[in-house]
Amino acid sequence: MNTALLNLLHLSDPALPIGGFSHSAGLETYVQQQIVKDKSTAKAFITEMLSRNLHYTDAAFVSLAFDAAVNNELEIILHLDQECTAVKLPYEMRQASKKLGMRLLKIFQPLVSNDLITSFDKLVQTQQTNSNYCIVFSLYAQAMGITKQDALYGFYYNAAAGFVTNCVKLIPLGQQDGQEVLFSLLPLMEQLAEQSMFPDKNLVGLCCTGFDIRSMQHEQLYSRLYMS
């Protein structure tokens, strides 16, 4: 049995109890404003979020931090963690990334650890770094023997599955519709994972302004089901 595959399934499981279900990444605003309202607009939202936002932010950081972890370069990882925080303009998105990362550390630190992760965790505990989810994800992926490309596959799938779940709840969509959307996005995820193997550092942080605006508007919604 392929242990690395099992590790990937564990690390990228959308049901992992880190609180991901509490965050919509601005989707709740899109739904309340009737911009995302059915199967087709849900697919459009997820497609754009994966290819125009995560591709240039979190997924790029997964790739770069994975390389740094291979070379045991803690200073580079800390720099990437700071940069990841800096490119997240909405307050709720910064907080969500930090909380998810801290909970991921809490789960896996007793299970999988090395000197690099231990040093990173100590800096998180003393509030000297921010523990962004994508950075922590890459550290554990590398430590668990998962290849970089598989880690990127898992990262994109985890994000897409989370968005689908939120669309099913918020719009709402039928479960079958949700699974059809997820299945239709598999080729895109594969393409994006391959492109993220060697991200252009000059494009890191590039994102769609609309996503940031909707996330900022989420803070002021009259009623909310999600924290972001």
* Cα→Cα distances 96→8, 73, 177, Å: 22, 25, 27
54: helix, strand or coil: helix
- What is the dihedral sign for C-alpha 84, 85, 87, 93? positive
pLDDT score of 135:
98
User: Rounded to whole angstroms, how far apart are CA atoms 103 and 118?
Assistant: 15
Q: What is the mean pLDDT of residues 140-152?
A: 97
Amino acid letter for position 206: L
CA 190 to chain centre: 16
Query: Rounded to 5, what percent of the chain is helix, strand, coil?
Result: 70, 0, 30
pLDDT score of 179:
97
Structure tokens given for 209? 């302004």
pLDDT band, residue 106 (cuts 50/70/90): very high
The pLDDT tens digits of the residues spanning 26-38 come to 999 999 999 999 9
pLDDT band, residue 123 (cuts 50/70/90): very high
pLDDT score of 163:
96
The neighbour count for residue 194, using CB atoms within 10 Å, is 12
pLDDT score of 91:
94
- Mean predicted lDDT score pLDDT of the chain: 95
Q: Is the pLDDT of residue 1 over 70?
A: no
User: Rounded to whole angstroms, how far apart are CA atoms 195 and 67?
Assistant: 15
The pLDDT tens digits of the residues spanning 155-177 come to 999 999 999 999 999 999 999 99
Within 8 A by CB and 6+ apart from 207, the residues are 52, 53, 56, 57, 87
Say what the alpha-carbon torsion angle 32, 155, 195, 46 is, to the nearest 10 degrees.
-20
pLDDT score of 113:
80
pLDDT band, residue 95 (cuts 50/70/90): very high
Least confident residue range of 51-60, 86-95, 207-216 = 207-216
> Distance between terminal CA atoms of the chain?
38
Q: What is the mean pLDDT of residues 122-138?
A: 96
What H or E segment, with its residue span, contains residue 117? helix 115-125
Asked if 130 and 50 touch (Cβ cutoff 8 Å), the reply is: no
The pLDDT tens digits of the residues spanning 168-227 come to 999 999 999 999 999 999 999 999 999 999 999 999 998 788 999 999 999 998 888 988
Q: Is the pLDDT of residue 152 over 70?
A: yes
What are the φ and ψ backbone dihedral angles of 172, each rounded to 5 degrees? -90, 165
Residue recorded with tokens 């697919």: 43
Asked if 65 and 134 touch (Cβ cutoff 8 Å), the reply is: yes
